[in-house]
Structure 1
Amino acid sequence: MRRAALLLSALLAAPAGVPAQVDTAAAARDAAEQLATAGERLADTGEGASERIAALSETVRAYEEGLEALREGLRRVAIRQQTLQDELDGRREDIAELLGTLQVMSRAPAPMLLLHPIGPLGTARGGLLAADVTPALQAEVAELTTALEEAAELRALQDSARRTLEEGLVGAQQARAELAEAASNREDLPRRFAEDPVKTALLIASTETLDAFASGLASVVDQELRNIIPDAAERKGTLRLPVQGSVLRGYGEADAAGTQRPGLVIAAAPRALVTSPAAATIRFQGPLLDYGNVVILEPAPDVLFVVAGLAEAFGQAGQVVPEGAPIGLMGGVTPSADAILSGAANGGGANRSETLYLEVREGQETVDPLDWFDRSAT
């Protein structure tokens, strides 16, 4: 009995097998519901060009948020599952020894269990100790049972997540394809000016830096059509970044090669949707220097947002796009369901392998983009 009590005391003094539980499974289930909602949106995207593009943009964003939430939920599930397994493994020997001692005790005649070599006083103390041990032992058994049940639930959740992921990835791919087609053929947007393609080509050929190109943009205007001038100046400091991601390098920070750029480098997921942070005039759209596809927006008079590194770019120079309008897609290849599950099992977070470059110019000078964008969202 004394041996059993010592073992049980050691178990109870160890870290609890199930700490204050955070419902990690709920996070994954909520993400699955987000993806289901995105699928419903995809089936009902409206008929008008403007309505359809807006609905498809919301659908793609919903898929992106749902998939990222599911990745995070599965990552938390994997961490919780490994924690449970480590705790159970760490206590395996103590539990086995305790169970062995109790098994020996169960084979002894009941009256003999309470006898003690030092006499009646020791026997009385043994009885009190047994009364204390029994409820604690029951609590320990209940705790271990809860841990095992939770581990089984987490394993089942991981198994069911595969189908949810596969459906979500297919839906996101379909939504992006439909959005790209609709946005590329969009003709319903108001126009502020007509572009002279020859002047644009000459400007591209004659400039070697982004600074020089941005400074010469005014020369490519062929004709002013309407006095439509969006002005986002009043919302300075509150705008949303053009892509869902995280800032890798800030304004003027050097990269691994020591190169400094006067803009932000944002890590984003493959094929992520890029949108206009505010209502703005498209001043340029197309390949430029070594920046890949570039979209230059004018959200306020004499203010330019340079968005570079797109795999696909939408819109035409002179068009005025509303806030949240799609202006392009990131490159890369969306990981498969197996890759996402494997990454989650290894503790990996969201896959943000693509980078978007964002530069803000006021007049002829570059400024820190975070002066315009919500810093809390970075």
Structure 2
Amino acid sequence: MTRIAALFAVALTCLPCVLAAQTDPVQTARRAAVMLDQAGLALQDASGARDRVAALTQTVRAYEEGLTALREGLRRVIIREQVLRAELDARREEISELLAVLATLQRDPETLLLLHPSGPLGTAQSGMLLREVTPALQSRVNDLRAQLDEVTLLRALQESAESQLADGLDGIQTARTALSQAVSDRTDLPQRLSADPARLDALLQSSETLEGFATGLLSLDDAAPLPPVSQFKAARGNLPLPAQGTVLRRFGEADAAGIKRQGLVLATAPLALVTTPSAATIRYRGPLLDYGNVMILEPAGDVLIVLGGLAQVYGETGQVLPAGAPVGLMGGQDPAASAFLRAGEKGSGNGRTETLYIELRQNGQPEDPAPWFAATKE
């Protein structure tokens, strides 16, 4: 395994640990920082990798994993600090009394505190009482000290997060730029078909629906044979999602305007990397109807994967892509680190402001994509 692949594997291994650390915001934030460091090392190694596109794709993914984890870790840190400050405010009177008692103990020698006007017996009894009280008093002091130390640590983590975020956002932007250039420079991809631009444009202009365009697309070209459908079907339930995100709407589910689409709508972060779930031929790339930029992939005969809503698309029609190859980026822009921190302090948003549409078509008919992907199968 190359070093860059090993670093990426570390990042992927860390993420479940980060997200699983529900009650330990400090460890969550620290693991996220390690993941961003690993992504930075992977970016350094990518320039010397034999397959720069694959290396940079892994690097962008590693940055995305790290930034997602840091966002979650920082959110937990802020919530935990708010809880502790609320507890300390609620205990203000108790803390004042405790400080007063401690000040008295420090001001008066212990021997004087033990003396009692009733004589030796009273002194002995007061000594026994003080011995009983002291452990409880010490416990309260230790508890207060631990809470104050935790608040200090959480505040320090938030202050260091801005620098970590800035470095991570700079790193992922550098990796995206390098990836776009590497894709543009790539010349080693096989070409399965050559589309007639005039016929493709005519189909595009005459199509009023995605279904009509997809149906007409398959009849445009005579191309080399594709892998058998059985091979693609064997991957059912194990395909990776094309981008990091959460399902916003499922197959046939209406949106706020009452519009139903025959696919999944995935909420992603701005500029999220989109990759092909399996090896496939690019059948179309570019704007289509109201779907924004669309990438239509053909992984097997009479099977199409439609990815809509991209801001930037990679590759050329007819190219055969390996599984996990980059096909584009989502829209939007990364927030500045300071804006990200302000949003975290207010507890607002999860940063997934873009939407990727995923449709799977077999034999000309749309099919629910969810069972095909490991993250969405039921």
TM-score range, shorter chain: 0.7 to 0.9
Distance 1:104 1:160 in 2: 39
Distance 1:157 1:104 in 2: 36
Please say if residues 296 and 307 of structure 1, whose CA atoms lie closer than 8 Å, have aligned partners that are also in contact: yes
* Partner of residue 32, structure 1: 33
Matched, 1:133 2:145: no
Matched, 1:229 2:230: no
3-state SS, counterpart of residue 374 of structure 1: coil
1:143-167 CA distance string (max 9 Å, x none): 2112211211221222222221111
> How far is the alpha carbon of 1:58 from its aligned partner?
0.4
Matched, 1:188 2:202: no
* Partner of residue 88, structure 1: 88
Distance 1:314 1:145 in 2: 56
CA 1:109–1:163 in structure 2 vs 1: closer, same or farther (change >3 Å)? Answer: closer
| Higher alpha-carbon Rg | 1
* Partner of residue 303, structure 1: 303
- Percent identity over the alignment is 53
> How far is the alpha carbon of 1:279 from its aligned partner?
0.8
Q: Give matches, 1:1-378, under 5 Å.
A: 22-46=23-47, 51-101=51-101, 103=103, 128-221=128-221, 223-224=222-223, 226-229=224-227, 231-348=231-348, 350-375=350-375
Letter in 2 for 1:263: G
> How far is the alpha carbon of 1:129 from its aligned partner?
3.9
Mind listing any 5+ residue stretches in structure 2 that lack a counterpart?
Answer: 1-21
Q: What TM-score do the two structures reach when normalised by structure 1?
A: 0.86
Aligned residues: 354
> How far is the alpha carbon of 1:191 from its aligned partner?
1.8
Please say if residues 226 and 299 of structure 2, whose CA atoms lie closer than 8 Å, have aligned partners that are also in contact: no
1:212-266 CA distance string (max 9 Å, x none): 1111112321x42x33437421011111110100000011111111111111110
RMSD across aligned positions (CA): 2.6
Please say if residues 29 and 73 of structure 2, whose CA atoms lie closer than 8 Å, have aligned partners that are also in contact: yes
Please say if residues 75 and 349 of structure 1, whose CA atoms lie closer than 8 Å, have aligned partners that are also in contact: no
* Partner of residue 3, structure 2: none
Distance 2:29 2:53 in 1: 29
Please say if residues 371 and 377 of structure 2, whose CA atoms lie closer than 8 Å, have aligned partners that are also in contact: no
> How far is the alpha carbon of 1:288 from its aligned partner?
0.6
3-state SS, counterpart of residue 31 of structure 2: helix
CA 1:100–1:197 in structure 2 vs 1: closer, same or farther (change >3 Å)? Answer: same
CA 1:127–1:35 in structure 2 vs 1: closer, same or farther (change >3 Å)? Answer: same
CA 1:43–1:116 in structure 2 vs 1: closer, same or farther (change >3 Å)? Answer: same
Letter in 2 for 1:71: R
3-state SS, counterpart of residue 267 of structure 1: strand
Distance 1:371 1:377 in 2: 4
Distance 2:123 2:48 in 1: 86
Letter in 1 for 2:338: D
Distance 2:113 2:187 in 1: 94
Distance 1:229 1:95 in 2: 72
CA 1:107–1:242 in structure 2 vs 1: closer, same or farther (change >3 Å)? Answer: same
Please say if residues 197 and 220 of structure 1, whose CA atoms lie closer than 8 Å, have aligned partners that are also in contact: no
- Structure scoring higher RCO (CA < 8 A, sep ≥ 6) equals 1
3-state SS, counterpart of residue 43 of structure 1: helix
Distance 2:110 2:37 in 1: 62
> How far is the alpha carbon of 1:73 from its aligned partner?
1.3
CA 1:361–1:116 in structure 2 vs 1: closer, same or farther (change >3 Å)? Answer: farther
Distance 1:109 1:375 in 2: 65
Distance 2:122 2:360 in 1: 83
1:43-79 CA distance string (max 9 Å, x none): 222557x700000100100111111111111111111
Please say if residues 237 and 371 of structure 2, whose CA atoms lie closer than 8 Å, have aligned partners that are also in contact: yes
Distance 1:116 1:218 in 2: 104
CA 1:349–1:134 in structure 2 vs 1: closer, same or farther (change >3 Å)? Answer: farther
Distance 2:163 2:109 in 1: 54
Letter in 2 for 1:30: R
Please say if residues 240 and 375 of structure 2, whose CA atoms lie closer than 8 Å, have aligned partners that are also in contact: no
> How far is the alpha carbon of 1:114 from its aligned partner?
7.1
Distance 1:293 1:269 in 2: 17
